[in-house]
Amino acid sequence: MVVRYPQQMPARFPVSGDQKLIQIVDAALADTTGKSGAWLACRPGCTQCCVGVFAINQVDALRLKRGLARLKKKSPKRAATVRERARTSMTRLAPDFPGNLRSGILDETEDAAERFAEFGNDEPCPALDPDTGLCELYEDRPMTCRVFGPPVRSEEGLGVCELCFQGATDEQIAACEMVPDPDDLESKLLEKLEKNSGARGNTIIALTLAS
């Protein structure tokens, strides 16, 4: 199957706002890390959260593209390797992609959501260097990557990585809860981006880095 990658996403990007968002989330992570101590198993080389496809929004996607562009200036060879891994990944993922491959956008139907739940669960992230176990775009990683591991509240309740908080009680886990974006700055940035550029809908990392 031939994958036709979508056109480059719009360059207009709320950089200063995104930098502020990153600072807020990273500060929340640092605070939670301090409270969690040895319960937080996240370490360089741990790739539990780097396997399996998940949806990213347009702010995440543009941040990743900017990160890959910076990596290309710093190390063209490493950037080319990331892009090649992304394209190889998409060759595997394209036949079952629950969305529009031309636009790169995931469908929002109930059927597509059910298909996405079983989609690419064993697929490694193309930004992951398999030799080092490190992320080549760590500073520009999506918000999902930044908050995975510590206790974070969602509609399903307080979730935590299965490798973390071994032996901790529910109360101890709750005491370490991470509140990554208390003022919902990400939604405001996404709304601004959609208004200024027309970029809408979720996509995936491999398709973002392959284009």
Q: Say yes or no to pLDDT of 109 above 60.
A: yes
Better pLDDT: 155 or 90: 90
Average predicted confidence (pLDDT) for the chain: 91
User: What pLDDT is stored for residue 196 in this prediction?
Assistant: 85
Contact 140, 59 (CB under 8 A): no
Q: Say yes or no to pLDDT of 206 above 90.
A: yes
Nearest Cα neighbor of 165 from 18, 8, 33, 24 is 33
Nearest Cα neighbor of 30 from 149, 167, 158, 128 is 149
171-192 average pLDDT score: 95
End-to-end Cα spacing for the chain: 16
b/e per residue, 49-83, with b = 16+ CB within 10 A? bbeebbbbbbbbbbbbbbbbeebeeeeeeebeebb
Contact 127, 140 (CB under 8 A): no
Q: φ, ψ for residue 56 (rounded to 5)?
A: -125, 150
Better pLDDT: 203 or 156: 203
Please give the Cα distance from 23 to 31 (Å, whole number): 12
User: What pLDDT is stored for residue 9 in this prediction?
Assistant: 47
Q: Lowest-confidence range among 4-13, 61-70, 75-84?
A: 4-13
Helix (H) or strand (E) holding 157: strand 157-159
Q: Say yes or no to pLDDT of 12 above 60.
A: no
Q: Say yes or no to pLDDT of 157 above 60.
A: yes
49-73 average pLDDT score: 96
| Sign of CA pseudo-dihedral 142, 144, 146, 149 | negative
Residues 76-102 have pLDDT tens digits of: 999 999 999 999 999 999 999 999 999
Q: Say yes or no to pLDDT of 16 above 90.
A: no
Cα→Cα distances 129→45, 68, 195, Å? 10, 14, 35
